[in-house]
A and B are shown apart, each in its own frame.
Chain A
Amino acid sequence: MLTKRIIPCLDVKEGRVVKGVQFVNLRDAGDPVELAEFYDSEGADELVFLDISASHEGRETMIDVVEQVAGKLAIPFTVGGGINTLEDMKRVLRAGADKVSLNTAAVNRPELIKEGADFFGAQCIVVAVDAKYDKDIRSWRIYTHGGRKATDWEVLDWVKEAVRLGAGEILLTSMDQDGEKKGFDVKLTKAVSAAVSVPVIASGGAGKVDDFTEVFNEASADAALAASIFHYKETSVAEVKDYLKKEGVPVR
């Protein structure tokens, strides 16, 4: 049976992991390679690196990070952030990433999804969406630019279009739940998961181990992504997986 995936997410800026990571047992808590190895050893099924560098130099550094991670890890990893062209995808994938994640650039120019899928195969192309509930449309609206800019897209319309163009996976972040630690957005995740034929990664809101059970059992998520709950050691990947096992959720 296919297992549910637990995916820690690391924000990387100018080659360093940021957003306060509390890892006393590591030599250097800001080193993405060291953190990646730590999560791998804990049983993470996959990793996501989000490059939040503002500069060109930062992006160049990210390529080095990808190469080093690829050299050390024997689990898949995705790189997102600042990928705007097919050339950007080529550089990241050739450096050893398994998947790229597209967000704003895909909304701005949806053909980018198709270009990537045609060149590398749909399995390499993750479309990340930031969704926020909008009572005017009685559904969730897609936001871009790190959640700063509202678009005209309704979430289900957009994810269906993304999959039609070749998205192999949807990374779905609930802006309403993100940072709240009150659990994943079950309604949103369930709706998106039912709307598309490809796997859906739920993101935003993980606050306790039970939240993971809920998003898998009630929202049919295929994977769940979290950042701070793991970075701040409020729980660990191993603990979450042990708990899920006890609850009868298939995990590795």
Chain B
Amino acid sequence: MIGIVDYGMGNLHSVSKALERLGFEYKISSDIYVLVEMDGLILPGVGAFPDAMEILQETGLAAFLQDWAYAKRPLLGICLGMQLLFKESEEYQLTEGIGLLPGRVERFKGVNAQGEVYKVPHMGWNKLSFSGNDHPLLKEVEEGHVYFVHSYAVKTEDSSILLATADYHEEVPAVVGRGNIMGTQFHPEKSSTVGMNILKNFGKIVEEAKENE
């Protein structure tokens, strides 16, 4: 059973519908006692980083997710949910994240190296480029187009966690992963076949984790 963490900032409907289509059982909950019984968790998210962290801290979900990740249980962050897995964000003010992955979330500059202005948010379909780092989340997934909507992107020195990037005036981390901790900057639930295959892989990772318990 996959738990979708409901902390008031996600487009829960489309994620849950996608899981339903793939035939995975899920439960949407904000209750730690319910979530702890799950085999894997999805942290969705749309909105501002500081607001999201404030809710996650107040509800105890931040600490719960840290414990969850340290216990090597599968966790997938989507969009803002992925950014929250990192150490910190400079959205509005410097805010500490859940801190499971090294890196900082920074705003797109809106001006490239040649001084040309480009649009922020990065919105629409962009192509994935695999880094070569192996991870079951991308098993048999093609290097296709996926749907992005974001104004902030992750900056990390640790290239070992980058599984795929997209090119938007800079190299944008698109899929990240270290063992059980995974994230996609784009919306897999809105990314047609490529996105559905990634969610299917996450579902399989969760099923395997359950069998190994």
Interface residues of A (CB under 8 A from B): 1-5, 40, 45, 70-72, 74-76, 93-96, 98, 120-124, 168-169, 197-199, 222-223, 252
Contacts and interface: CB of A to CB of B under 8 A. Distances in A.
Interface centre among A75, A94, A169 (most CB of B within 10 A): A75
A95 B14 CA distance: 9
A96 B187 CA distance: 14
Contact of B119 (A5, A45, A94, A222): A222
B67 interface: no
A74 B196 contact: yes
A199 B13 contact: no
Instruction: Name the prevailing secondary structure of the A interface residues.
Output: loop
B40 to A, nearest CB: 20
Nearest to B167: A1
Contacts of B178: none
Given A1-B167, A120-B47, 5 more contacts: A1-B127, A71-B20, A94-B13, A95-B13, A123-B123
Interface string B129-167: 000000000000000110111110000000000000001
4 closest Cβ pairs, A-B complex: A252-B145, A96-B13, A123-B149, A252-B125
A123 B190 CA distance: 14
Given A75-B192, A123-B46, A123-B149, A223 B124 contact: yes
Interface in B1-37: 11, 13-14, 17-18, 20-21
Given A74-B191, A76-B190, A252-B145, A122 B124 contact: no
A124 B121 CA distance: 12
24 contacts: A2-B126, A4-B124, A40-B192, A70-B13, A71-B17, A71-B21, A72-B21, A74-B190, A74-B192, A74-B196, A75-B190, A76-B147, A95-B13, A121-B46, A122-B151, A123-B46, A123-B123, A123-B150, A197-B110, A197-B119, A198-B121, A198-B123, A199-B119, A223-B124
B17 A75 contact: no
Interface of B: 11, 13-14, 17-18, 20-21, 46-48, 110, 117, 119-127, 144-145, 147-151, 167-168, 187, 189-193, 195-196
A237 B119 CA distance: 25
B46 A124 contact: yes
Given A71-B17, A75-B190, A121-B48, A98 B121 contact: no
B189 A74 contact: yes
Nearest to A96: B13
Contacts of B193: 74
Contacts of A95: 13
Contacts of B110: 197
A139 to B, nearest CB: 22
A96 B17 contact: yes
Nearest to A43: B192
Interface centre among B13, B21, B193 (most CB of A within 10 A): B13
B123 A168 contact: yes
Interface centre among B18, B150, B192 (most CB of A within 10 A): B192
Contacts of B46: 120-121, 123-124
A5 B121 CA distance: 15
A75 B147 contact: yes
A198 B192 CA distance: 24
